[in-house]
Amino acid sequence: MIFNTDTAKKTAELLLQINAIKLNPKNPFTWASGWKSPIYCDNRITLSFPPIRNYLREEFAKNIEKQFGKPDVIAGVATGAIGIGMLVAEIMGLPFVYVRPEPKKHGRENQVEGFLQKGQNVLVVEDLISTGKSSLQAVEALKAAGANVKGMVAIFTYGFEIAEKNFKDANIEVYTLGNYDMLLKEAVAKQYITEDEYDTLKEWRKSPSTWGVEV
């Protein structure tokens, strides 16, 4: 769920402007999962543009407090959300931790890095939500460390049904700055894509795991 339509529109505009989101229906990308996709999103690029990263952190801070109240700790999901998570923690004056995909193989073998006390209220920051699997693994790691996870926020979501189901089953509330539907509207309005490409991108979202697969 997006925080609000004005923020979603502005976020889409900014991500398209700096090519953080690349749309290429005619020459699809291949994701790590093997899925063929006409879209690729790399929100880490936003960190290289001070006005844009400041906009994102300010919108996060304002809306986190409105929707969840002020947490005790901000947690970023490694590696993509460490940067933006730290910026959000900084502007909110809160401690910051980050969550690895899996525990380290050496040393203290931490999965959650930073100072976290049992019972603290934690708000998780993500850069991107696709299926939600890796995001929820971070949530489970925080819970295992004794945290009370209040919810999750992200810069962008593809809005897959599987992600909505996964978060609902895990009873985790998620809000995002931008989403796929608003992105496509902005992409057409600003002529990043044609109407035909818009239709292709809409079709892909219906069944991303099978789109572009020859049978």
Model confidence over 58-76: pLDDT tens digits?
999 999 999 999 999 999 9
**Residue given tokens 């699997």 in the structure block:** 133
Going by the annotation, the residues of the binding site for orotate are 130
3-state secondary structure of 141: helix
Second-level CATH architecture of 5-206: 3-Layer(aba) Sandwich (3.40)
3-state secondary structure of 96: strand
Query: Region 74-89: what's the mean pLDDT?
Result: 96
Going by the annotation, the residues of the binding site for 5-phospho-alpha-D-ribose 1-diphosphate are 100, 104, 106, 126-134
Reported confidence tier of residue 104, pLDDT bands at 50, 70, 90: low
Rounded-to-integer distance, Cα 204 and Cα 187, Å: 16
Q: Do residues 76 and 99 lie in contact, with contact meaning Cβ atoms separated by under 8 Å? A: yes
Which residues are CB-contacts of 119 (< 8 A; sequence separation ≥ 6)?
146, 147, 148
Reported confidence tier of residue 34, pLDDT bands at 50, 70, 90: confident
Instruction: Tell the burial category of 129 from Cβ atoms under 10 Å away from its Cβ (0-12, 13-18, 19+).
Output: buried
Rounded-to-integer distance, Cα 63 and Cα 68, Å: 8
